[in-house]
Amino acid sequence: MAELILARIQTLQRAEDGRGPERAAQFLAMSREAALASGDGSFQAAWANLDKIAAVVGSAMAHDVEAQGRLLEKARHQVAEHLRAGRTIVEVSKEQAWRNASQDQAPSPIDPLPGDKDR
């Protein structure tokens, strides 16, 4: 049974691999609403992630709307690059996003600080 499931996943992945550039262009051409309505799980997850990025950027850079726009556009193009490479996009939680963004920099607000482990 596991072999059958793996074979099906690999077949679907091979079908997607050849369409990377097409999917990236399609993603960049779509509005947020069209992507969410498309039924494409990667497009939907990409916009869910971009919405989380927009919330963080809006909060952290409330004073600089132009910089917010540049960062969001860069994030959108990075998602397109992942699609171009044939990758599947999955939605990340706030905790995962924090860890990804702050890897080797600062602890997550939900992680204990090194000194807190003894308390």
H helices present in the chain, as ranges: 2-17, 20-29, 32-37, 41-60, 65-84, 94-101
**Tens-digit pLDDT profile for residues 18-61:** 688 999 999 999 999 999 999 999 999 999 999 988 988 888 88
Query: How confident is residue 15, by pLDDT bands cut at 50, 70 and 90?
Result: low
**Tens-digit pLDDT profile for residues 60-115:** 889 999 999 999 999 999 999 999 998 999 998 877 766 766 654 444 444 454 55
pTM for the full predicted model: 0.66
